[in-house]
Amino acid sequence: MAAQDLESTARALVADNKGILAADESDGTIKKRFDSIGVESTEENRRAYRDLLFTTEGVEEFISGVILFDETIRQSSSDGTPFPHLLERRGIIPGIKVDKGAKPLANAPGETITEGLDGLRARFEEYRGLGARFAKWRATYSIGDGIPSEYCVWTNAHALARYAALSQEAGLVPIVEPEVLMDGDHSIERSFEATSRVLHAVFTELRDQRVHFEGILLKPNMVLSGYSAPQQASHDEVAEQTLRCFRRHVPAAVPGIVFLSGGQSDEDATANLNALNARGPHPWELSFSYGRALQAPALKAWGGDPANVEAAQKAFYRRAKFNSAARAGSYAPEMEREPVTA
């Protein structure tokens, strides 16, 4: 029965035309976002900002789930409704980020290992009691001179699989997030090679640690040119290289791939997802699990002023709608010129 529950939740998260909002920014990341609009990162400001996202009218048409941060899953809407209950009431599945962040990997300069396995079983039990139905763990890999090393690739794969096994044991769908960072001037071919190595290791470890593939989601990077590369790949080339990589390494049993946006612009993240889906059908659902690429226009429109909540919600609704269209391969850049209306 537990396996069936995991499978049905995983499928619901990648339902047609829907994707996931990543609202699980760490304290440091949300502070940077707030600094960019001149707003102090207080607990109340963070609560108010997430409240405006979660209460946006009609956004449940496009958003299947929300990844929450430890602070956020314990907070409530302005009417006193705990955020997980508010989301569930709207047909949106609450999730939780459980890793403790990427830390320097011993004896591997320039590389990281994600921490947070200690005490994770007990934390899963608490989070499930608070309303979470899925979880997320992120590992990061840099591309550079001689990196990512095999040591970094396999150490992170082992930790991702341990997390995923514990998550399924607790009855939560694990989102497995191996992110090959696109910072640098490397070519798209170099991204392909690094992403291939990472995915091979991740699925080897998941299999070895008895993780049920039908009850997970993969949250990877797209295969892109390095952000400072002199030549940037087109949306079509990104789609071609990404699909070639994923067909080689991601089992068809996995219900969905929910891409992260990384450092892409809002429009590029949507256009690349659209190019991927325009080449379907695929063995898995190709969806989104975007943070900044869904939130940036809303954050800017809000600016910390309660009078701007409606404008911010319209901006969030609009980006969610565009990414929903990209799920079906029906997004067009001309949509970006439409007036902001909900």
Residues catalogued as catalytic:
177, 219
CA 122 to CA 115: how far, in whole Å? 16
Question: How open is the CA angle 135-137-138, to the nearest 5 degrees?
Answer: 145
Six-digit token pair at 216?
């997970």
CA 181 to CA 84: how far, in whole Å? 30
pTM given for the model: 0.97
Phi and psi torsions of 127, nearest 5°: -65, -40
CB 49 within 8 A of CB 23: no
CB 236 within 8 A of CB 268: no
Looking up tokens 């009850």 gives: 215
Give the 3-state secondary structure of the chain: CHHHHHHHHHHHHCCCCCEEEEECCCHHHHHHHHHCCCCCCCHHHHHHHHHHHHCCCCHHHCEEEEEECHHHHCCECCCCCEHHHHHHHCCCEEEEECCCCEEECCCCCCCEEECCCCCHHHHHHHHHHHCCCEEEEEEEECCECCECCHHHHHHHHHHHHHHHHHHHHCCCEEEEEEEECCCCCCCHHHHHHHHHHHHHHHHHHHHHCCCCHHHCEECCCCCCCCCCCCCCCCHHHHHHHHHHHHHHHCCCCCCEEEECCCCCCHHHHHHHHHHHHHCCCCCCEEEEEECHHHHHHHHHHHCCCHHHHHHHHHHHHHHHHHHHHHHCCCCCHHHHHCCCCC
Q: Which of 111, 106, 114, 100 is nearest to 142 (CA)?
A: 111
Look up residue 145 and give its amino acid: D
Structural domains of the chain, with CATH: 2-337 (3.20.20.70)
Residue-level pLDDT, tens digit, the chain, 342 residues = 489 999 999 999 999 999 999 999 999 999 999 999 999 999 999 999 999 999 999 999 999 999 999 999 999 999 999 999 999 999 999 999 999 999 999 999 999 999 999 999 999 999 999 999 999 999 999 999 999 999 999 999 999 999 999 999 999 999 999 999 999 999 999 999 999 999 999 999 999 999 999 999 999 999 999 999 999 999 999 999 999 999 999 999 999 999 999 999 999 999 999 999 999 899 999 999 999 999 999 999 999 999 999 999 999 999 999 999 999 999 999 999 877 654
The pLDDT mean for the chain works out to 96
Six-digit token pair at 249?
């390494």
State pLDDT tens for residues 230-242: 999 999 999 999 9
Output the CA–CA distances (angstroms, integers) from residue 317 to 56, 92, 101, 212, in the order listed.
7, 15, 29, 34
Instruction: Output the CA torsion sign for 123, 157, 288, 255.
Output: negative
Six-digit token pair at 137?
């763990």
